[in-house]
Every structure is written in C-alpha cells, then in structure tokens.
Amino acid sequence: MRDTRNLKLLWVSNGEILAGNLPRKQLRLVQAWIELHRDELMADWELSVNGEEPYKITPL
C-alpha cells in the first residue's frame, strides 16, 4: 500500500500504528499483510540493521 500523501508508521510485531492514522478497513488489510509476511519483514529488518540490502516483499 503506497500512499505518499499520508505516510504511516506501523510496528511490525503487532501492526500497531505508531504515527499517523489509517482508516479501519485499510488498517485491517495492512495488519493481515503483516501477519502473512512477518518472517520476511523481520529478516529484512535484520538485514537493514546490518547494513545489507533487504529483499523485496510482495506488496498488497
């Protein structure tokens, strides 16, 4: 989901919104996507923290 007008920050571990807001329907979609891709997201986080290029993850 790419909305460059209204960027949001979500916490990957639980899908909680850390900054901004998101309509309930879109939030549920993003939370479901996080559930499906949690392992990939965490692996990419580790790569990024170590200065490596993260893998691409299938978008919504």
pLDDT in the model for residue 51: 96
pLDDT in the model for residue 59: 87
Q: Which residue has the tokens 């993850």?
A: 57
Buried b (16+ CB within 10 A) or exposed e, 21-41: ebeeeebeebbebbeebeeeb
- 10-residue mean pLDDT series, the chain (60 residues): 58 75 86 90 92 92
pLDDT in the model for residue 7: 56
Which residues are registered as beta bridge partners of 16? 11
Give domain limits for the chain: 1-60
pLDDT in the model for residue 16: 79
